[in-house]
Amino acid sequence: MKNGKEITYREAVRRALQEALLEDERVFLMGEDVGRYGGSYACSHGLLKEFGEERVRDTPLSESGFVGAGIGAALGGMLPIVEVMTVNFSLLALDQIVNSAATLRHMSGGQFSVPLVVRMATGGGRQLAAQHSHSLENWYAHIPGIKVFTPATVTDARYMLAEAIKDPDPVFIFEHAMLYPTKGKIKENGNGFNVERAEICREGSDISLITFGGSLSKALEAAESLSSEGIEAEVIDLRILRPLDTETIINSITKTHRAVIVDEGWKTGSFAGEISAQIMEKAFDELDYPVQRVCSYEVPIPYAEHLEKLALPQANEIIDAVKEMF
């Protein structure tokens, strides 16, 4: 994993898909517009021509149908990668996910595994209105029997898919829609790619900024601004919501004694609330100030650009939350 020229997040996903299709004939990609159109976010561009219609399959607009077909294919020995256009549309497949994919290992007494990977775009910021713009990762992180990956960097976009395919149980990968055009370098990692731990993206001693997905860049922006005012923030990219790496979170709190959690989900019932509860249960005596949360306003995400920006967490809100603690 050598550092090289910058590539887009979109291209990192495409390379991961291409590598998976090349390495194992059991792998195939299916979903709406993944073939002839090249993917709703161009992540599968050129793959239909390279691998053919058996390996890159366009599906009807029926999330319950093609997610269910993916579960069946996984049970039959294949390694399906199912692409759902947006997280909002994935709700149409929740019965398949909650009542089948997540439960079959348990209900079969360990006889069946479901090596299914489901990728989907999540999050707001692209003026795609309320039916295409929400962050519902917390809903999936609530479900035992599946794993939830939230790649926020080009490196994770490139290598998380391979780890997901290796897993014998369902893995859901949430790719924030605002990340696809962003650029970065693949990080060198001599010890191999570790998909089990959160990453400390910026060291700090005064406060922990804990986040994931599309909010990572906002947390880093806030941390840089706070540094100029003498407040050194540690920024943690959770990377995986289930299973959650609580050890990294608690170690950081033990050092900084303050925490702001940034989550693009709505505050009520948010994953930020789960992290806050974990901190309270495991590191209450380390806190010098109550845990703060910066989340989306509790409204359907607006279409109008200025209203959408106001509804979503922004760096200035993170900065204000931190300053209140000092």
Quick one: CA dihedral 104, 65, 303, 315, positive or negative? positive
Catalytic residue among 132, 134, 176, 257: 132
Query: Residue 74 and residue 264: Cα distance in Å, rounded?
Result: 31
The pTM of the whole model exceeds 0.75: yes
Q: Residue 192 has what pLDDT?
A: 57
Partners of residue 149 on adjacent β-strands: 173, 240
Catalytic residue flag (residue 63): yes
- 115 preceded by cis ω (within 30°)? no
Q: Where are the domains of the chain?
A: 7-184, 199-325
Catalytic residue among 63, 83, 137, 163: 63
Half-sphere exposure of 287 (CA within 13 A, CB side): 18
Query: Residue 83 and residue 94: Cα distance in Å, rounded?
Result: 14
Provide the H-helix boundaries in the chain: 9-23, 47-51, 63-75, 87-90, 94-96, 104-107, 137-141, 154-166, 216-227, 246-256, 271-283, 305-311, 315-325
Query: Residue 201 and residue 109: Cα distance in Å, rounded?
Result: 40
Contact 239, 149 (CB under 8 A): yes
Q: What single DSSP character describes residue 66?
A: H
Q: Residue 120 has what pLDDT?
A: 98
Same fold, 7-184 and 199-325: yes
Q: Measured in whole angstroms, how far is the alpha carbon of residue 59 from the centre of its chain?
A: 24
Q: What is the pLDDT along the chain (326 residues), one digit of tens a residue?
A: 455 789 999 999 999 999 999 999 999 999 999 999 999 999 999 999 999 999 999 999 999 999 999 999 999 999 999 999 999 999 999 999 999 999 999 999 999 999 999 999 999 999 999 999 999 999 999 999 999 999 999 999 999 999 999 999 999 999 999 999 999 999 876 445 788 899 999 999 999 999 999 999 999 999 999 999 999 999 999 999 999 999 999 999 999 999 999 999 999 999 999 999 999 999 999 999 999 999 999 999 999 999 999 999 999 999 999 999 99
CATH 3.40.50.2300 fits 199-325, yes or no: no
Which residues 6+ apart lie within 8 Å of 249 measured at CB?
A: 198, 208, 210, 236, 238, 275, 278, 279
> What single letter denotes the amino acid at residue 252?
S
Catalytic residue flag (residue 234): no
CB atoms within 10 A of CB 111: 8
Looking at domain 7-184, what is its CATH homologous superfamily? Thiamin diphosphate (ThDP)-binding fold, Pyr/PP domains (3.40.50.970)
